[in-house]
Structure 1
Amino acid sequence: MTEREQELIRLAEEEVEKNKDIVERDPYRLRYHLMPPVGLLNDPNGFIQWNGTYHLFYQWMPFKTGHGAKFWGHYSSEDLVNWKHDPIALAPSEWFEKNGCYSGSAVEHDGKMILFYTGNVKDTDGNRKTYQCMAVSIDGVTFDKKGPVVELPEGYTAHFRDPKVWKKDSEWYMVVGAQSEDMTGKVALLKSSDLTEWQHLGAIAGSGMNGLGDFGYMWECPDLFELDGVDVLVASPQGLKAEGMKYQNVYQAGYFIGKLDYGKASFEHGDFVELDRGFEFYAPQTTLDEKGRRLMVGWMGVPEQNEDKHPTISHKWIHALTLPRELHWVDGKLLQVPVEELANLRKTALVTVNHMQLSNEKEEVFFEEKSAAFEMILSFKKDVASFELEMNNTVRLTYDASVSVFSLYRKSFVTGEWETRRCSLQTLTELRAYVDTSSVEVFLNGGEEVFTARIFPDGPDAAGVTMSGVGTVSEMKVWEI
């Protein structure tokens, strides 16, 4: 570790300590989601289970609640529930990363954990250079930087970042989010036999390719993996225009289902499908764990989407990561299910009801103790014609069977007015919600659709849940967590 890196890490640690009290006094501090100890958090990075321990890194700006020269913060866990905040993994100290250690991934090789990340460099005029860099660890805590292993291939602008690496047979592959010289978003594929010498095979997906028309000017944070017999390409395109209920956020995150031809370096795929229909979800990353599960974590935020208006900024921090989700491909649908270990978060059973007939009169779901953090599971009979659930005077979940639409409303933290995100849903059979002090994650019909949002209730007096509708709730369970 160079003196410059040691100095940057020391300064970041001092920033954490200096602001510890004001950060921890924030009533919107989350109880069971991963957050920065101070400053700004964005993309999850380097998600891996290594030697039995889960490691989850994140983009981190410790010195302000805006973006800048990012560090890699680091959490680890034995069980995906109890997380330890580890020492800083990467600081932007060297010439090839001086303006940020940007997003990337982790692999295991020869017993070592190897990180790949983008080194961001800008000159005094703001001109950008970009390098895909490598760092190696033998203990999972300290990382030895090896410098750039990929320089910018021909045909792309310097917006070439976020390497995701995996092994197929005896070869290593890397996808990189990119912008081609014609200013359209792309995903580039590279190949290596030794992780240090990389061959650029070309773009495999992007705007204007594989039957797509105009589809954005930059694709960030790609991830490509095999799942239940299909290949899945996850990407976060920038520059999509809103289209009905789709693409309502400033930037989107979603997936394509297809088949990667490794020999021809081509990827035939279907339509783009958003992964999450809520207000805050971007730059997800997956890993394959030792149980053979494909797990995913996303950033509970969106770049340039009222980031400067979050109320947590007054307490010197902003943004969080989603809960870990297990992915399945079933009957032509990508399902996202909260990992089973999250059941260990449950403390007190607040409500257990085996049958409830809904009415158009709002009924309060009675909690013996009002809780700002809980898990709720509702199972419905097929007779549900309408449903409304309001939480904390801040969030409303509604379903209207006559138009097959599910909606999430929240009170805007910018204007205080109600705003909404929607999706088509033929039937409502199950609703599972994880509510934290300032977030909600809603899973519908076994993960067929998901809504994630930050929420900022007015205070403890706002705690409470009411339900109304037409139809039958066959079971309701609520736990404090």
Structure 2
Amino acid sequence: MSDKLTKAREYEVKKEAMIPEEQRPLFHLTPRCGWMNDPNGFSKYNGKYHLFYQYYPYETVWGPMHWGHAESKDLITWEYLPCAMAPDGEADNFGCFSGSAIEMEDGRQLLVYTGVRKEEEEDGIVREYQTQCIAIGDGVNYEKYENNPVIGADSLPKGAGKFDFRDPKVWKENGKYYMVVGNKTEDKDGQILQYVSDDGIHWNYDKLVIKNNHRFGVMWECPDYFELDGKQVLLTSPQDMLPEELEFHNGNGTLCVIGELNKDGDFCEENCQAIDYGIDFYAPQTVLADDGRRLMIGWMQNWDTCGIRRDDFPWFGQMSFPREISLHNNKLIQKPAREIADYYGKRISRQNVLISDSASLSSIEGRCIDMTVNVRSSERTLSYNKFEIRFADNGKAYSTIEYDPVENIVKIDRKHSGSRRAIVHQRRCKVANNKGEITLRLILDRYSMELFINDGEQVMSMGVFTDVKAEGISFKANGEVLMDVTMHELEKK
């Protein structure tokens, strides 16, 4: 074990012991200490879910990337394991960037990641070189392959850029290992490349999976590629996007491309959509559960919103709640992992409540809840033009969810949540025209809100860093609505 890894492991144990449990979310994974970004190596190994993550243990800002590590039996309660990797190799001395994990034929766990090193070019400019590397271990300790990198610039196809080449996602199929990797071409366009291996160690270029053709952003990061409900799905996170109506927003976004494989095994796209329509969601990664469900977790943050933080917290960044994903009518459906029901506490239900102005309901409050609100007109014709849920409210700070049934738009807004920064505080999305009826399911967990619209047709996520004592929830309508509310308090078991 290198001195860098030993130091990181010793530091995180000491630092974690100093963080009060109540200063973290109840269920969303945060870094053991310091900084967290992309999920890495979301996988099953030895009967448990493993989740690695981009990690800088020493400060709550991005630094030389390590791999943090946690495991879970049920996707919800996570236990920290020792830091898995530090930037201590010749091929990764500037950082161990994002990647994935899989169990090998001999029972060991294979980590596939992007190693980053810096070199000075002939023109005197220092540039990053990104190559694909591996490490192999037993679920706790990992040894980097002595001949890293296993995929270098010499394995790139013509026109591929050698500086932005990262985030390998590995899987096994028909007795072989496959990997997709994000790349930015020499003419600054995103594309996803596929590689193949017989043993997970020696890799060869296979083919181009998809090219952006300058449609969605520039570099395509963090790809995931899998079969789902008879279709082929690619998830990726484009950088530097331009907005398109309310489907895609400026900056760093998420993209789900749905299609089919033709007789030659080539990907033919049929539909493109955003994955999450909120403020904070990036770099999702999936795993196939033993029962056949495809589960997804993302970084519930965004590079454009890193200024929204609690400066008094010894951690930064959290993962989303795990989501079950499926397809319906060639569109992505996302629902909270059903394991959440195992953590339900007190149940409170109110049916056919008439809201004509602003109202609070007895016992409907909290910051660790799973709440479903069904809203509909009180008459046959549309009886209202706006509905609002206000939460994390202490009379001064609050956040809101608004629904406009005329324009069919849902908006999330945290500008009054206590932030002193003029960063992204609002996001809107277009929803189905259901004649004023909508179902809004909120997962609140101390420092986050995830909104599942119409049984998972769309999701909007955001961090909320208002003091956890702000537990108020209220409802407001311009006009009249009928509302059903079912709320479960969430509790650690």
Using the TM superposition, give the Cα deviation of residue 256 of structure 1 relative to its aligned residue in structure 2, in angstroms: 0.4
Aligned twin of 2:413: 409
Q: 1:330-341, aligned counterparts within 5 Å?
A: 330-341=328-339
Aligned twin of 2:275: 275
Aligned pair partner of 2:172 in 167, 175, 195? 167
Does 1:238 pair with 2:239?
yes
Using the TM superposition, give the Cα deviation of residue 478 of structure 1 relative to its aligned residue in structure 2, in angstroms: 3.5
Using the TM superposition, give the Cα deviation of residue 196 of structure 1 relative to its aligned residue in structure 2, in angstroms: 2.2
Does 1:179 pair with 2:184?
yes
Structure 1 contact 72–90 (Cα < 8 Å) conserved: yes
Does 1:50 pair with 2:45?
yes
Aligned twin of 2:291: 291
Q: Report the CA distance shift for 1:185/1:416 in structure 2 as closer, same or farther (over 3 A).
A: closer
Aligned twin of 1:345: 343
Aligned twin of 1:422: 428
Using the TM superposition, give the Cα deviation of residue 392 of structure 1 relative to its aligned residue in structure 2, in angstroms: 1.8
Question: Secondary structure of 2:221's match?
Answer: strand
Q: 1:86-125, aligned counterparts within 5 Å?
A: 86-110=81-105, 111-123=107-119, 125=125
1:480, 1:116 → 2: CA distance? Answer: 35
Question: Secondary structure of 1:201's match?
Answer: strand
Question: Secondary structure of 1:344's match?
Answer: helix
Does 1:448 pair with 2:457?
yes
Using the TM superposition, give the Cα deviation of residue 144 of structure 1 relative to its aligned residue in structure 2, in angstroms: 2.1
Does 1:472 pair with 2:472?
no
1:437, 1:82 → 2: CA distance? Answer: 15
Does 1:11 pair with 2:7?
yes
Q: 1:341-380, aligned counterparts within 5 Å?
A: 341-349=339-347, 351-359=348-356, 361-367=357-363, 371-380=366-375
2:87, 2:226 → 1: CA distance? Answer: 29
Q: Report the CA distance shift for 1:222/1:61 in structure 2 as closer, same or farther (over 3 A).
A: same
Using the TM superposition, give the Cα deviation of residue 206 of structure 1 relative to its aligned residue in structure 2, in angstroms: 2.6
Q: What stretches of structure 2 of length at least 5 have no aligned partner?
A: none
Structure 2 contact 279–425 (Cα < 8 Å) conserved: no
2:108, 2:349 → 1: CA distance? Answer: 47
Q: What stretches of structure 1 of length at least 5 have no aligned partner?
A: none
Using the TM superposition, give the Cα deviation of residue 127 of structure 1 relative to its aligned residue in structure 2, in angstroms: 1.3
2:441, 2:251 → 1: CA distance? Answer: 26
Aligned twin of 2:63: 68
Aligned twin of 2:324: 326
TM-score, normalised by the number of residues in structure 1: 0.90
Percent sequence identity over aligned pairs: 33
Q: Report the CA distance shift for 1:281/1:70 in structure 2 as closer, same or farther (over 3 A).
A: same
Q: Report the CA distance shift for 1:202/1:313 in structure 2 as closer, same or farther (over 3 A).
A: farther
Structure 1 contact 328–334 (Cα < 8 Å) conserved: yes
1:348, 1:480 → 2: CA distance? Answer: 8
Using the TM superposition, give the Cα deviation of residue 129 of structure 1 relative to its aligned residue in structure 2, in angstroms: 1.5
Does 1:141 pair with 2:140?
yes
Using the TM superposition, give the Cα deviation of residue 311 of structure 1 relative to its aligned residue in structure 2, in angstroms: 3.1
Using the TM superposition, give the Cα deviation of residue 475 of structure 1 relative to its aligned residue in structure 2, in angstroms: 4.3
Using the TM superposition, give the Cα deviation of residue 429 of structure 1 relative to its aligned residue in structure 2, in angstroms: 3.4
1:60, 1:123 → 2: CA distance? Answer: 23
Using the TM superposition, give the Cα deviation of residue 164 of structure 1 relative to its aligned residue in structure 2, in angstroms: 0.5
Structure 1 contact 217–239 (Cα < 8 Å) conserved: yes
1:187, 1:179 → 2: CA distance? Answer: 9
Paired AA for residue 420 in structure 1: Q
Aligned twin of 1:194: 199
Aligned twin of 2:151: 150
TM-score, normalised by the number of residues in structure 2: 0.88
Question: Secondary structure of 1:315's match?
Answer: coil
Structure 1 contact 382–429 (Cα < 8 Å) conserved: no
User: Once the two structures are superposed, what CA deviation does each residue of 1:46-91 show, in whole Å capped at 9, x if it has no partner?
Assistant: 1111232111111101122222221111110111122110111111
User: Once the two structures are superposed, what CA deviation does each residue of 1:375-396 show, in whole Å capped at 9, x if it has no partner?
Assistant: 1112344767442110023221
Structure 1 contact 23–37 (Cα < 8 Å) conserved: no
1:326, 1:228 → 2: CA distance? Answer: 13
Q: Report the CA distance shift for 1:126/1:417 in structure 2 as closer, same or farther (over 3 A).
A: closer
Q: 1:307-318, aligned counterparts within 5 Å?
A: 307=306, 309-318=307-316
Aligned twin of 1:39: 34
Aligned pair partner of 1:463 in 468, 471, 482? 471
1:362, 1:478 → 2: CA distance? Answer: 22
55-64 or 121-130, which deviates more:
121-130
Using the TM superposition, give the Cα deviation of residue 338 of structure 1 relative to its aligned residue in structure 2, in angstroms: 0.6
Q: Report the CA distance shift for 1:382/1:325 in structure 2 as closer, same or farther (over 3 A).
A: farther
Q: CA RMSD in A?
A: 2.2
1:423, 1:256 → 2: CA distance? Answer: 18
User: Once the two structures are superposed, what CA deviation does each residue of 1:186-208 show, in whole Å capped at 9, x if it has no partner?
Assistant: 11111222222222133322321
Q: Report the CA distance shift for 1:21/1:144 in structure 2 as closer, same or farther (over 3 A).
A: closer
Structure 2 contact 254–283 (Cα < 8 Å) conserved: yes
